[in-house]
Chains A and B, each alone.
Chain A
């Protein structure tokens, strides 16, 4: 079931190429949307059959390259299931959003379907090399998305993205090899490595491995100071690409923290947790402050991602604090971190798609060129408003639930860091309100296009089909988050048990 979920999109992508060259683009779009919808249905079925207290489920394990210690091992638990569901939802949203895409539709659809496989595979992987394979392939696929369908500076941004994240992936690989060699018998299997805790009592070795793993994941997350690849990649990528990049790909880094680094290197993680807390706070504040200085809407959203990912890093760092803080508080922090991954995926996905709508109408992201758009496009304005308010952490939206848990969980162990991070909320509130005022209020002014000024048509059906479900789910999670938290909480408790070894 899980393997079908993972590999079905790629199989469909290959089928797309088998279709004759003269097939109309509508067929490709229909197949793409259909596949994504099917994937979402599949993941809902997986969720329905999932027992929240059952640990790893839907496990599949076959021999792959036994002499290298590599196996094909997949499964889901409370950490990966929400992210699998998020991935399917966001890819469906992107498929719907791209219904108007007319540039090389076949390749675009195939690339996204392949990208979906890599994302799902990564969250389902229970073998380090399998994880790495999907990690690297996602970089390759995203490179081609940015380079092939991006804006003017796309080639350069894509190269920067590739080089940076590839460096990260190789650091990660070295860390994985370190873990592999420490285990006896040598293995890359995550479950076995977690049980063995092979680096217990070997502090120098463990520190080096942790360094390699954390650097690799931090680049992908991205945290300060490894975030510089992110703004150009986001700005130059097509809207659907940005949504996936921010919504799903960034989660690979933070997911790696809770899935790999914390349970497999508990001692080293606890020892260096303070470093992560500091990095988290720096990311929160740096991301928010730099976002505040942006005039480009998309770049601003990109920097708020650095800010939001900073909360997650803060939470996973604070959760490692021992002794003086209660088990419950730390569990809350980890749960909050996972919830934040989901919430950020939904909201940033929506924001980037909306940025795409703006660009499609006005051919620029420069907020100074727009004014009074709310009058011309009320529905668009409303959606952007909702997304922005949700993103800044207003109660009633998923972002609030996540950030509330993170702050409550982290305040005990790390009061100063948490207090500083709360300032980040204030800053994001300010910058989102400023952006909304600039673009949507005042007299109507649109960018000067060559020739006559164009009208600003309101949001179209396919665009709202893509964006509204994301926002609706953010509201549902904000009002009734239990169904998500019930899945995450047992998993985060078990992560903490592993961390306490």
Chain B
């Protein structure tokens, strides 16, 4: 361990977000209720500043900060940009429904803390810091899920919390076992130690660890909470739950596969590949006949985790893995948030049928919805298509051609349920939905759809920066 690298500026985005959360909390207790939106603005400023701070470092070689616990490399920097950008979009859709709410400040502070937890998970290379990041990402999210204090919200929070607490304990147990096996918690050191460690111990520990990280990612088999928590919580919170923690969790998983388990006795790639296959398939099957849009998106996000796990499975085995994962993460985050922004724009439309006639009332919003949903399918030229192309290529290259073929089959299956939503939205018959709604959320939806399309058409420079 060196003494030289305790430079807080390496962690500037994280520090900014934490400072803004604390400052917001203080500010919120002094501001009158009608001006609490200032806290939201402060959060947005912190996110923008964080993105600005992380951008120049995105292409730079890796350094570590605070001992060996935190690494600042392209994975961290990209995750920072994606998480903070995603948080901005979440703030965009929360602005109107939260305005004048008695707990407006608390909401913004919790959102920032949850994002901070995701940031920590993305950058850590120490198991204990990973556990801390897990808790920081989880606890504000539990609260947010039940933020409305109504029946479904309480159920959502409770289920989310119980599953999260259980899997969190499993994760801590796993970390303990790995610590005992490897004699440390830093990734590089563990990577060396696991090269000839007893397989049973590594397997036990890593399964516990996976339980926790997969819970945050919302992947099979730790996915039970997703549909209920997403359906029960308010639309902005649902948007957050399905996007922000996943980014941190998948970046963390990638790092684990790349550094810790790359040379271990454990068949890690095969294990992750099986989880990816299960996640995409079960998520799709679950989504097929959903009537509630949030529930449909919840299952869709489970299946998307499956695709995201493909590059994770071949981490360190395929050249494309890193850029595939990072690009797909960015593409997924913006596309998924775009779809949720449309949901947020119509807080009273719950089922697919409620969206009938959207194209007649709000053609631009319908176009955004179509772009985002087809984007989630992976239709070119949206960003997710390029992400899928990279992920499929990486899986092929890493020797998992079967996984790529299965993913392609799953993509077709997913088309079915996304179309079930697109069809009523663009059809002209039947009663049309009311044009009233949330203008901030509409703007967010347009922005997200535009980014999703733009990132797909002009993905070249972005991919260059990631590789």
Contacts and interface: CB of A to CB of B under 8 A. Distances in A.
Contacts of A104: 428
B396 A65 contact: no
Nearest to B457: A64
A181 to B, nearest CB: 6
Contact of A180 (B393, B412, B423, B427): B393
B71 interface: no
B389 A162 contact: no
Size class of A's contact patch?
Answer: 20 to 34
A178 interface: yes
B415 A163 contact: yes
A155 B397 CA distance: 39
A461 interface: no
B100 interface: no
Majority SS at the chain B contact face: helix
Nearest to A69: B393
B330 interface: no
A174 interface: yes
B411 interface: yes
Given A140-B379, A177-B393, A180-B393, A66 B464 contact: yes
A162 B419 contact: yes
Contacts of A66: 460, 464
B379 A65 contact: no
A388 B389 CA distance: 44
A71 to B, nearest CB: 9
Interface string A116-149: 0000000000000100110011001000100110
A170 interface: yes
Contact of A67 (B392, B405, B464): B464
Interface in A86-135: 104, 129, 132-133
B386 interface: yes
Given A133-B380, A155-B423, A177-B404, A68 B412 contact: no
Contacts of B393: 68, 177, 180-181
Contacts of A174: 392, 404-405, 408
B364 to A, nearest CB: 9
Interface string B339-356: 000000000000000000
Interface residues of B, number: 33
Contacts of A170: 408-409, 411-412
A140 B423 CA distance: 12
A202 to B, nearest CB: 14
B59 interface: no
Nearest to B405: A174
A289 interface: no
Contacts of A180: 393
B408 A148 contact: no
Contacts of A147: 423, 426-427
Interface in B198-221: none
A30 interface: no
B408 A129 contact: no
B339 to A, nearest CB: 17
Interface in B371-385: 374, 379-381, 385
Given A140-B374, A162-B415, 11 more contacts: A65-B463, A66-B464, A68-B386, A70-B460, A133-B380, A133-B385, A137-B380, A144-B426, A147-B423, A174-B405, A177-B392
Interface of A: 63-68, 70, 104, 129, 132-133, 136-137, 140, 144, 147-148, 155, 159, 162-163, 166-167, 170-171, 173-174, 177-178, 180-181, 208
12 contacts: A68-B393, A68-B459, A129-B380, A129-B389, A137-B380, A147-B423, A147-B427, A148-B427, A148-B428, A159-B419, A159-B423, A170-B408
